[in-house]
Amino acid sequence: MEQFYATGLKKLGADVFDSYCNQIDQVRLQCQFLVCGFDGESKPHLFSVRNPGIAENRDTPGYWAIGDGDFGAMSTWEFFIRA
């Protein structure tokens, strides 16, 4: 993307470059990511990322679900944790 924005206008001309920029702006990824790992002090972390690059810390409650079944999965976790 960096190279496209740096050289695209000159290589493609204004009309084509503007058209491509508009198409790129319209892209909306319909996906989420759930990421877990450890920091430099071996402390666990959990976060989710959704369009357009919004990251949300999920360290609390320490579990999370994404996708079509997220509500059911979270409800089930809550049930078992409180039982």
Chain segment 55-74, per-residue pLDDT in tens: 999 999 889 999 899 999 99
Where helices occur in 1-69 by DSSP H, the ranges are 2-12, 14-26
Question: Could you state, in order of their start, the residue ranges of all structural domains in the chain?
Answer: 1-30, 31-83
Average model confidence (pLDDT) for the chain? 91
Half-sphere exposure of 54 (CA within 13 A, CB side): 8
Residues in CB range of 74: below 8 A, 6 or more apart: 64, 65
Q: What are phi and psi of 34, to 5 degrees?
A: -115, 120
Q: In the chain, pLDDT over 90 holds for what percent of residues?
A: 66
Which residue in 28, 31, 66, 29 sits closest to 46, CA to CA? Answer: 66
Categorize the per-residue pLDDT at 36 as very low, low, confident or very high, splitting at 50, 70 and 90. very high
